[in-house]
A and B are shown apart, each in its own frame.
Chain A
């Protein structure tokens, strides 16, 4: 090996070391775990090799509940947050003077701790012995019944879940879309104006196609992000998500690994791989449907 080669590898050594230990090795390991049946972490023994872990996980009612919850969250929040973000950013792009202000406002959810703000949401929506909570009082004002959104019926919990998720992810999308809108060359709009193109036509025929790469990017990363939902749920419902019936796939993985019901890395691995294959499939389908590469590298952190 040449001396210059040696030097380059030296510079890369820390990165390779860290990635090797905490990325590559685990990747291989997780496959092995997921096929080892009856792994006992205390005695480091295995009964056999096979698909048992997968079949256990797939028959676990908690897992099925988690999959159901995750899919509901994905299907509701991704289209809704993207659509709303698009509407809002189109509206905002005509308001030039307050640009700095609304950028700041929309960015706050990005920098604040999800768990912290989740707590605020919980308080706003929770019904306790002392008070019905802000939101319920509002509902009462309009003649509705109080509902406990945190410990109450499933639909209420799901509603607040999606509401909070949208609140968390939408601002980021608005920011991306407003900057995409701002980068559309103004001459196109002027050209359209000269032709007397109606506004909705300008939007659908000029604006949308121009920013479509960004929209695709947001949809794809939105899917990936929503499938990995976990800490938002913890913020609202606490760490015992199974009891609340609000677990997600990622939450299931962690619960299997650790906590009161933990200690089953094999099940956790199997569940994680199932999640990964779902996400991979959906991302591929997304990419096929849109047939466009996503701009930049995003994503799966």
Chain B
């Protein structure tokens, strides 16, 4: 299970000449070097890809949180006509695969002249019905009396949401945040469709570019260094929030 990770790390610290000199690959190296990392960051604009991905991830996640929290609040707390019908409609949309709508979205974004822009990358990725559903369920577990107590003290709906509901449901909110960050960081298909200017490439596209055109030559150690650099942030994030991620995923995430 772990071998590819080891291999990735190992190769990334082997020097180019040493790697190519080994007909039979060595399982260890005595002279680790970081020159591949320098190479990876200078030969291709990896730093740029990182920045792009960071902007994309943060903006998408923030927008997703705002939209999701507001919608979940309306579904769980506010009584309005058509609530159940609308919620059922939301749930049924969950069955629609991305592949089906991505075609039109591509056309829409192109028509809005948003190709190779962050807006174009972010906008279609904002809503996630599953997270709305997850959060709504969580919000509904907060006893009614808390809301009544807050109403009695003259707390507005928005303040109640911010001061009471969000803090109480913080674990779920953290979970969906992390899941969304993972999703964004690893997203490939949509960014690939919508960007052809390498100034707007995300790390996934960056990796793909490196793979296809490389560093001008088959510089595999440098490639591996890039791969390590790209994977590292999420692995660190994962190690920090392991419990929360596990929790969120086992509640119904899938990879795909």
Given contacts A107-B238, A108-B235, 18 further A-B contacts (CB under 8 A): A15-B71, A26-B100, A27-B104, A114-B186, A123-B7, A123-B220, A124-B4, A175-B249, A238-B212, A253-B102, A253-B103, A265-B103, A265-B107, A268-B103, A273-B100, A275-B99, A297-B130, A301-B128
| Complex interface: chain B residues within 8 A of A26 (CB) | 100-105, 108
Q: A8-B80, A26-B100 are in contact. Are A300 and B94 (CB under 8 A)?
A: yes
Give chain B's interface residues, CB within 8 Å of chain A: 1-2, 4-5, 7-8, 11, 20, 22-25, 66-68, 70-71, 73-75, 78-81, 83, 86, 90-91, 93-108, 123-124, 126-130, 132-133, 157, 182-183, 185-186, 188-189, 192-193, 203-204, 207-208, 211-212, 218, 220, 223-224, 227, 230-231, 234-235, 237-239, 242, 245-246, 249-256
Bound Cα distance from A241 to B203, whole angstroms = 20
Q: A5-B81, A238-B211, A296-B252 are in contact. Are A111 and B22 (CB under 8 A)?
A: no
In the complex, the answer to whether A12 meets B86 with C-beta atoms within 8 Å is yes
In the complex, the answer to whether A257 meets B103 with C-beta atoms within 8 Å is yes
In the complex, the answer to whether A169 meets B100 with C-beta atoms within 8 Å is no
Nearest opposing residue in chain B for A130, CB measure:
B20
In the complex, the answer to whether A113 meets B203 with C-beta atoms within 8 Å is yes
| Complex interface: chain B residues within 8 A of A104 (CB) | 239, 242
Bound Cα distance from A26 to B128, whole angstroms = 16
In the complex, the answer to whether B67 meets A103 with C-beta atoms within 8 Å is no
Option from B4, B126, B130, B234 in Cβ contact (under 8 Å) with A113 = B234
> What does DSSP make chain B's interface, helix, strand, loop or mixed?
helix
Contact indicator per residue, chain A 176-210, by CB within 8 Å of chain B (1) or not (0)? 10010000000000000000000000000000000
Q: A103-B242, A112-B235 are in contact. Are A4 and B218 (CB under 8 A)?
A: no
In the complex, the answer to whether A111 meets B83 with C-beta atoms within 8 Å is no
In the complex, the answer to whether B66 meets A116 with C-beta atoms within 8 Å is no
In the complex, the answer to whether A21 meets B108 with C-beta atoms within 8 Å is yes
Nearest opposing residue in chain A for B212, CB measure:
A238
In the complex, the answer to whether B104 meets A25 with C-beta atoms within 8 Å is yes
Q: A12-B74, A30-B104 are in contact. Are A113 and B204 (CB under 8 A)?
A: yes
Q: How far is the CB of B85 from chain A (nearest CB, A)?
A: 12
Contact indicator per residue, chain A 208-240, by CB within 8 Å of chain B (1) or not (0)? 000000000000010011001011001000110
Q: A114-B186, A115-B188 are in contact. Are A276 and B100 (CB under 8 A)?
A: yes
Is the C-beta of A58 less than 8 angstroms from some C-beta in chain B? no
Q: How far is the CB of B225 from chain A (nearest CB, A)?
A: 11
Contact indicator per residue, chain A 1-12, by CB within 8 Å of chain B (1) or not (0)? 110110111011
Option from B7, B102, B254 in Cβ contact (under 8 Å) with A124 = B7
Bound Cα distance from A175 to B238, whole angstroms = 15
Give 14 CB contacts A-B under 8 Å: A4-B78, A7-B157, A26-B103, A30-B104, A106-B1, A108-B1, A108-B5, A110-B249, A115-B188, A130-B20, A272-B100, A275-B97, A276-B97, A297-B91
Q: A11-B78, A103-B246 are in contact. Are A22 and B127 (CB under 8 A)?
A: yes
Q: How far is the CB of B159 from chain A (nearest CB, A)?
A: 14
In the complex, the answer to whether A27 meets B188 with C-beta atoms within 8 Å is no
| Complex interface: chain B residues within 8 A of A234 (CB) | 188, 208
Bound Cα distance from A301 to B99, whole angstroms = 9
In the complex, the answer to whether B99 meets A169 with C-beta atoms within 8 Å is no
Q: A23-B96, A113-B185 are in contact. Are A228 and B256 (CB under 8 A)?
A: yes
Is the C-beta of A47 less than 8 angstroms from some C-beta in chain B? no
